[in-house]
């Protein structure tokens, strides 16, 4: 079969009747490679593609992003334009330099819902100005397992009611700008020690336990009016012993729609993740199962292709023909997606400032506010109180999960963005040792006292633990900073920031510089 990329070429899935093809296409939301709209994707949009999901690799500048979203809308004014901007470690708008927002864990520790709502509104303003209509945020998972490799600081915290209140506040702030929110990952991805990008996590909780904990933030998000909710690729055997949540009608239709009363769009987490399409299932069959279970908008993945969409459309059409999937279910999904697209496009368009705001001039009071969320041991306070004209920095570079990616992080992102700022200049003047899991732990002994160690989720990585143990045994005056989610005993964290966004990194730099404007928290419970 010919695979022409011309706009007027016959679609690859031309064997599917045009009306049915358009209906199926309305439920699909692929990603793509590049910074301009590919011809194949433009053709799909003109043929009724329901949405496009943008990632960090699709963005190089505000002007380019605005041109890209305009091109998508020109091809299909009813297409949803989505992005995964959580305003913390997971950022797409600021993938080249780190987000100028505090992140959820910091917001939860501060426990100021007005500030959380304001942050959600600021994120929404940036997205609205960029032409984005759906933000795949906030993350309302409860991070009840400190060894969770994929949620961590993306969560507002460990207390269900706190997560519920801040998830609802963030949702209200975001949606006040006309951008739709997406509470995720239903029915809760917090109590896992596996990453669903790479495996199928199991959460062995029954309905009663879920109602007491995991479901509270989703109830709050529904009450706050979230337009969409994202499913998780996790198995809950006490609710459905065979299918992960994304493919489970008892979880989606029974729990989410029936018990929680959600009437909006159910979005899948990316179907290219192992938890969805792994084990030989494949993306086309995952799409069929997701639609059959009650999902409406299918996030396909990142660098998708025209051929993949053809396979999905043909698989869904085949399932309808075989009686495995009612066409009425697909029609219902199409109607919900188009209704969402119409509402967000018709929403408030008063945001006119330049997208991806320059956050170099962060107010001192916001840096102080962020630093108040840090957790400091007595040793950390003593180390910071000492005069350090010079110290060695050991950077522990762990492999980031796929959701976070390779975005710059922490003080390194802050110093890169503002190299002339005094706190940045003082930080970068110190010698740096970079260590990965492939390096010999002895490498860290190149660092001379005093030593500042900076990593993320230190306790979860054997090489990081070994390096810290070695330094503590051989060097005096070692301060260990964890910019992730620490273990409960804080064994590998003297100072914990609960996030590694650029804004959090700026607050840490000022704390290290002994800023006199009150940045230093007064107690470890602040």
The 3-state DSSP class for residue 298 equals strand
Question: 3-state SS of 91-133?
Answer: CCCCCCCCCCCCCHHHHHHHCCHHHHHHHHHHHHHHHHHHCCC
Give dist(CA 341, CA 134) in Å, integer: 9
* Paired sense of beta strands 495-496 and 375-376, if any: antiparallel
Give dist(CA 85, CA 55) in Å, integer: 9
Give catalytic residue positions. 197, 269
The conformation of residue 54, written as its DSSP 8-state character, comes to E
Give dist(CA 34, CA 321) in Å, integer: 36
Please choose, from the candidates 492, 482, 480, 490, the residue with its C-alpha nearest in 3D space to the C-alpha of residue 447. Answer: 480
* Paired sense of beta strands 451-455 and 478-482, if any: parallel
CA distances from 67 to 59, 97, 112, 185, 325 (A): 11, 21, 36, 31, 38
**Number of alpha carbons in the 13 Å side-chain half-sphere of residue 399:** 6
Question: 3-state SS of 417-482?
Answer: HCCCCHHHHHHHCCCEEEECCCCCHHHHHHCCCCEEEEECCHHHCHHHHHHHHHHHHHCCCEEEEE
What radius of gyration do the chain's Cα atoms show? 23
Give dist(CA 78, CA 51) in Å, integer: 8
The 3-state DSSP class for residue 227 equals coil
**Number of alpha carbons in the 13 Å side-chain half-sphere of residue 181:** 33
């Amino acid at each position: 079969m010919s695979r022409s990329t011309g706009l007027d070429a016959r679609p690859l899935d031309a064997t599917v009747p045009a009306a049915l093809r358009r209906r199926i296409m309305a439920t699909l939301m692929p990603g793509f490679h590049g910074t301009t709209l590919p011809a194949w994707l433009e053709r799909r949009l003109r043929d009724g593609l329901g949405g496009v999901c943008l990632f960090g690799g699709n963005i190089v500048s505000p002007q380019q992003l605005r041109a890209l979203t305009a091109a998508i809308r020109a091809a299909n004014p009813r297409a949803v334009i989505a992005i995964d901007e959580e305003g913390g470690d997971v950022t797409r708008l600021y993938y080249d330099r780190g987000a100028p927002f505090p992140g959820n864990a910091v917001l939860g520790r501060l426990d100021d819902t007005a500030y959380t709502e304001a942050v959600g509104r600021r994120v929404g303003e940036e997205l609205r100005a960029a032409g984005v209509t759906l933000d795949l945020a906030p993350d309302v998972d409860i991070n009840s397992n400190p060894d969770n490799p994929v949620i961590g600081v993306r969560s507002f915290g460990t207390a269900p009611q706190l997560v519920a209140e801040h998830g609802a506040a963030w949702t209200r702030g975001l949606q006040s700008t006309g951008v739709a929110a997406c509470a995720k990952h239903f029915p809760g991805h917090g109590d896992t020690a596996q990453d669903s990008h790479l495996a199928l996590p199991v959460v062995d909780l029954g309905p009663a336990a879920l109602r007491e904990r995991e479901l509270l933030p989703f109830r709050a998000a529904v009450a706050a009016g979230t337009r969409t909710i994202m499913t998780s690729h996790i198995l809950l055997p006490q609710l459905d012993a065979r299918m992960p949540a994304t493919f489970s009608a008892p979880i989606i239709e029974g729990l989410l729609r029936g018990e929680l009363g959600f009437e909006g769009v159910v979005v899948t987490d990316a179907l290219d993740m192992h938890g969805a399409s792994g084990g030989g299932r494949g993306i086309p069959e995952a799409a069929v199962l997701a639609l059959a279970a009650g999902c409406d908008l299918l996030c396909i993945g990142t660098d998708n292709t025209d051929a993949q969409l053809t396979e999905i459309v043909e698989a869904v059409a085949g399932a309808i023909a075989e009686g495995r999937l009612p066409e009425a279910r697909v029609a219902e999904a199409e109607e919900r997606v188009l209704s969402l697209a119409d509402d967000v496009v018709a929403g408030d368009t008063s945001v006119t400032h330049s997208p991806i705001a320059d956050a170099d001039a962060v107010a001192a009071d916001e840096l102080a506010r962020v630093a108040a969320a840090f957790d400091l041991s007595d040793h950390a306070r003593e180390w910071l109180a000492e005069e350090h004209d010079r110290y060695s920095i050991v950077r522990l570079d762990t492999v980031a999960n796929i959701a976070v990616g390779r975005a710059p992080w922490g003080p390194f992102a802050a110093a890169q963005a503002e190299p002339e700022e005094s706190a940045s200049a003082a930080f970068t003047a110190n010698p740096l040792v970079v260590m990965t899991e492939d390096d010999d732990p002895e490498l860290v002994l190149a660092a001379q006292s005093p030593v500042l160690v900076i990593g993320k989720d230190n306790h979860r990585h054997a090489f990081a633990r070994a390096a810290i143990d070695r330094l503590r045994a051989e060097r005096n005056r070692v301060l260990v900073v964890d910019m992730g989610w620490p273990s409960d005993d804080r064994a590998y964290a003297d100072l914990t920031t609960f996030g590694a966004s650029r804004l959090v990194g700026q607050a840490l730099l000022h704390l290290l510089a002994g800023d006199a404007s009150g940045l230093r928290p007064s107690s470890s419970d602040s």
